[in-house]
Amino acid sequence: MSLLELEDVKLEINGKEILKGITANLDKGKVYAFVGPNGAGKSTLAYTIMGLEGYRDIEGDIIFEGESIKKLGIDERARRGITLAWQEPARYEGLTVAKFILAAARRKSPDVARDALLAVGLEPEEYINRALDKSLSGGERKKIELASILAMEAKLVILDEPDSGIDVASLQNIFDAIKFMKERGATILLITHSPFVLRQAEYAFLMCSGMVVEEGKMEDIVPYFEGKCLPCRHKNMPDVGRGKDGC
Amino acid sequence: MLGGVKMDVDLAKMAEIDEALKDEETAHIMIDRNRVISRRDVKGLVIETHEREDGVDVRLRVLKGSVIKKPIHMCFGITHEKTMQRINMEIEIEDGAEASFLSHCILPKSGARHEMEAAIYIGENAKYSYEEKHIHAFDAKVEVVSKAKVKVGKKGVFKTDFELIKGRVGILEIDYEAEGDEKSIIEMTTRVSGREDDIIKVRETGYLKGEAAKGALATRIAVRHRARAEIYNKMVATAAYARGHVDCKEIIQDEGEAMAVPVVEVRHPKAHVTHEAAIGSVDKKQLETLMARGLSEDEAVELIIEGMLGA
Ligand SMILES: Nc1ncnc2c1ncn2[C@@H]1O[C@H](COP(=O)(O)OP(=O)(O)O)[C@@H](O)[C@H]1O
Ligand SMILES: [Mg+2]
């Protein structure tokens, strides 16, 4: 049985069809990627799986561990083991890093926050009592968000553009954390338009214009992204994201 | 302990300061309505009290150059229903002296009214920090009126932090006004969490009169249910290189209402004052992030507000 099954998922926002029938199966303990140019609908798909407000009224179905979750709220999906890291993490006024991580943690021991910070390459002493606010850089906030996800021990971890705002050295921390979660049996869903991130996946779905236009082993999908970012010419889809900022 | 007066154990317990009160090196004064029920002086600190019908006059001096190492504990309580307490306080931190205060105001009974009127003088190079925590009942409505006029001498430091996040607010009115001389520092923080039909009125004013005086007024308010908050923060800078900042954040939930009126006044071309004010519900991304970690909406809101209030 797959961990997650997307069955012809369609979503309209403001009368515009953004997801046009996404079908995909994700198995337990594997790393997947949804890749595609800007505007392909990748973040929308992530929000739809998480069930954010405005992303719940779908056609088709989302099956998690054999049960439909499409009627469930965010927190109910999270309690079943699904979580999401946003491309741009939230800023909190005053909430400490320790409290933030512990709120997510499955085991509530104080060591959990420390271990999670270490696992994403942050020195616990330096961060644990700091406020999760604008005094932290975007990259730091992203790692802290990832730390909270590690502590949560989720079954399906969706990471939306995990490399954005992250420097090269830190990128390795993120990749290590992905490996760490996979080793503990989690399924990782990477949302990305970066070939480097794509390379972390075992299996990838190429998205274009709200549809999956290709899927296969990572090696087979990579060529579309290796520097040249081919326009989407699959299955008679219109060109999307060609050129400059397409990738 | 002075004059063998028996301590009111309840007040100390509620304030969680019973250990501190036993400490020989920690000065304290504890007042239940109009009676001083316990007190300890330390070297460099002079406390004079006068009990009146409806409260106590307290005069407190930290003598020139004296540094009081451990925070001076003050505890004001009203242990009877429908009772009023008025504290007139005069505090003087003489030149070069330093003291910090930890004050608890315990109002567990309904209909209590606590009034504080303070005059505070901070000498040259003197340092004063004052932390006031209120502990009210969850099911009782009380009134608190707290007023202070503060003068801060050259290079003096005045810091105050008012916290009312445990229990119902009832009706709260704060009016603090501080003026600072050359190179002085004024920092006022107010953190209040209102619920039911609580009413919160906060007025904080800083006058930066001396050259290079610094001032910061920060207000963090949460209002839930039908609670209302009005915040008037004002910073006036009239001297060169004076720097001021006013910062007000209010989270409203349910039918709560909040108003912020920041006033920034600069009367010297080399002075600079900034302000920011934000009122609104809990930020959606903050909320959804916590919910995506498994917290219910209520738990997430609670945590976000707690964080903002620095609880
Ligand atoms: N709230 C919204 N309202 C209207 N259009 C939206 C909204 N969110 C996304 N879109 C549109 O949906 C498409 C997919 O967006 P998105 O999922 O963010 O793409 P990606 O993450 O692949 O870059 C884009 O054309 C975008 O403009
Ligand atoms: Mg996106």
Structure tokens at B208: 């930066």
Closest ligand 1 atom to A161 CA: 21
Closest-CA distance, B290 to chain A, in angstroms, reads 7
Domain boundary (B144, B168, B192) is at B168
Beta carbons of B245 and B271 less than 8 angstroms apart = no
Report how far residue A75's alpha carbon sits from residue A83's, in angstroms, rounded to the nearest whole number.
9
What is the arithmetic mean of pLDDT over A130-149?
92
SS3 state of residue B4 = coil
- Decide if B9 is inside a domain: yes
CA distances from A187 to A78, A174, A201, A206 (A): 14, 15, 11, 18
Contact B307 A131 (CB under 8 A): yes
The residues in A 121-150 lying below 8 A from B, measured between CB atoms, are 131-132, 145, 148-149
Is any atom of ligand 1 closer than 6 Å to the C-beta of A241? no
- pLDDT tens, position by position, B195-210: 999 999 999 999 999 9
Is B152 a domain residue? yes
A103/B293 Cβ within 8 A: yes
A183 touches chain B (CB under 8 A): no
Could you tell me if B191 lies within 8 Å of chain A, comparing CB atoms? no
Asked whether the beta carbons of B116 and B89 are under 8 A apart, the reply is yes
In a domain, B149, yes or no: yes
Q: What is the pTM of this model?
A: 0.85
Tell me, yes or no, if A54 comes closer than 8 A to chain B by beta carbon: no
**Please, which residues bridge with residue B35 across strands?**
B32
Contact B196, B168 (CB under 8 A): yes
- Ligand 1 proximity of A87 Cβ (cutoff 6 Å): no
Q: Give the amino acid at B13.
A: K
Say yes or no: CB of residue A209 within 6 Å of ligand 1: no
> What is the ipTM score, two decimals?
0.92
**pLDDT value for A234:** 52
Q: State in Å: Cα B60 to ligand 1 middle.
A: 64
Whether B20 maps to a domain, the answer reads yes
Domain match, B159 and B303 both: no
Q: How far is CA B45 from the centre of its chain?
A: 21
Assign B21 a pLDDT band (cuts: 50, 70, 90). Answer: confident
Domain count, chain B: 2
For residue A41 and ligand 1, the question of a CB distance below 6 A is answered with yes
* Residue A233: pLDDT band with limits 50, 70, 90: low
Q: What is the dihedral of CA B6, B9, B11, B13, to 10 degrees?
A: 150
Q: Does residue A68 have its Cβ closer than 6 Å to ligand 1?
A: no
Arithmetic mean of pLDDT, A43-63: 97
B278 within a domain of the structure (yes/no): no
Query: pLDDT at position A230, please?
Result: 52
- H or E element, residue A171: helix A168-183
Spell out the residues 6+ positions from residue B34 whose beta carbon is closer than 8 angstroms to its own: B51, B52, B53, B54, B55, B56, B85
* A43 pocket-lining for ligand 1 (C-beta < 6 Å): yes
Whether A80 contacts chain B with CB within 8 A: no
Poorest-pLDDT segment among A146-155, B50-59, B162-171: B162-171
Which amino acid is present at B171? I
Residue B210 lies in a domain: no
Q: Assess B297–A contact: CB distance below 8 Å, yes or no.
A: yes
Scanning every residue of chain B, which has its alpha carbon at the shortest distance from the alpha carbon of A155?
B293
- For residue B136, the 8-state DSSP code is E
With a 6 Å cutoff on the Cβ, whether A13 touches ligand 1 is yes
Query: Is the pLDDT at B160 greater than 70, yes or no?
Result: yes
Render pLDDT for B209-238 as a digit per residue (tens, 0 to 9): 999 999 999 999 999 999 999 999 999 999
Residue B6: the pLDDT is 45
- How much of chain A exceeds pLDDT 90, in percent? 75
* Beta-carbon contacts below 8 Å between A and B: 76
Strand order in the sheet with A82-85: A82-85, A156-160, A187-192, A31-35, A203-208, A211-217
User: What is the average pLDDT across A221-230?
Assistant: 64
Domain coverage including residue B53 = 1-168
Chain B within 8 Å of A73 (Cβ-Cβ)?
yes
pLDDT higher at B20 or A147: A147
Helix and strand numbers (H, E) in chain A are 9, 10
Average pLDDT over residues A6-10: 98
The Å distance, Cα A44 to ligand 1 centre, comes to 6
Dihedral sign computed on CA atoms, order A229, A13, A57, A87:
positive
Of B127, B148, B168, the last residue of a domain is B168
Shared domain for B288 and B164, answered yes or no, is no
Residue A245 pLDDT more than 80?
A: no
What's the whole-number mean pLDDT along residues B106-122?
A: 94
Q: Which chain B residue is nearest to residue A52, measuring alpha carbons?
A: B288
Q: In 3D, which of A142, A11, A150 has the Cα closest to residue A86?
A: A142
Q: At which of B168, B202, B231 does a domain end?
A: B168
> Is the CB of residue A53 less than 8 Å away from at least one CB of chain B?
yes
Residue B68: pLDDT above 90?
yes
Which ligand 1 atom lies nearest to the CA of residue A210? 14
User: Based on the domain organization, do B154 and B292 belong to the same domain?
Assistant: no
Query: Is residue B212 situated within a structural domain?
Result: no
Contact yes or no for A104 and B294 at CB 8 A: yes
